[in-house]
Amino acid sequence: SPFEVDFTNESVGALSYWWEFGDDDTHTIANPTHTYHNNGLTDTTYTAMMVAQSFYGCFDTTYHDITVFATPFANFIAQPESQVWPSATITLTDLSVAGSVTYEWDMDDGNELDGEAPDDYTYNDWGVYDIDLFITNGSCSSEATSSIEITPPAPIADFMLDTVGCAPMTVHFESNSQFALSYHWDFGDGGEAQVENPVYGYNFP
């Protein structure tokens, strides 16, 4: 739905025609086109009728059934829309208008779910995820998308090292920082580095 039907008149010996399309609409041309609508949740069958009448008033009637499938409408909400890692669990609430349909959820992280009300879902990393819902009744389908964001937490800077030695002294710095994407080290003597675990030499006491 909407389903457009072209009617081909194969009558013989007729002069005029009367069409009833089964949905309270009528027409009188020989080969009409009619659009059917089904806003319900189940398939609907309409019985179209055509009466062919001759010049002398004789007539004949024929019927034809037209099935219009229900058209589902996919809709859902994903909550919460935004949260801070390590919180990463969302709830999916289906708001679709549908009859008997199958559900496919694409979670945008390589995983898929099925079912009208899947369990709460937990992501393994932060990021923005576009969740897609696809529903179908085997004949008609609908799709909806909703986005959620899991924001990274503030980084926590921490490192370990040997704090005492003789000059010249080579120090292996080991970062124990959490949730970091980049690093900037200031070694206290004018030296700097941008790697996670640098090795640095102190030449003077």
Q: Is the peptide bond before 168 cis (omega within 30 degrees of 0)?
A: yes
Q: What is the pTM of this model?
A: 0.65
Residue 139: its pLDDT value, please? 84
Residue 188: its pLDDT value, please? 93
pLDDT tens series, the chain, 205 aa: 889 999 999 999 999 999 999 999 999 999 999 999 988 878 899 999 999 999 999 999 999 999 998 888 999 999 999 999 999 999 999 999 877 889 999 999 999 999 988 999 999 999 999 999 999 988 889 999 999 999 999 999 999 876 788 889 999 999 999 888 899 999 999 999 999 999 999 998 8
Amino acid of residue 153: P
Residue 50: its pLDDT value, please? 97
Q: What are the backbone angles phi and psi of residue 198, rounded to the nearest 5°?
A: -80, 160
Half-sphere exposure of 119 (CA within 13 A, CB side): 2
- CA atoms of 90 and 105, how far apart (whole Å): 13
Residue 198: its pLDDT value, please? 94
- The length of the chain is 205
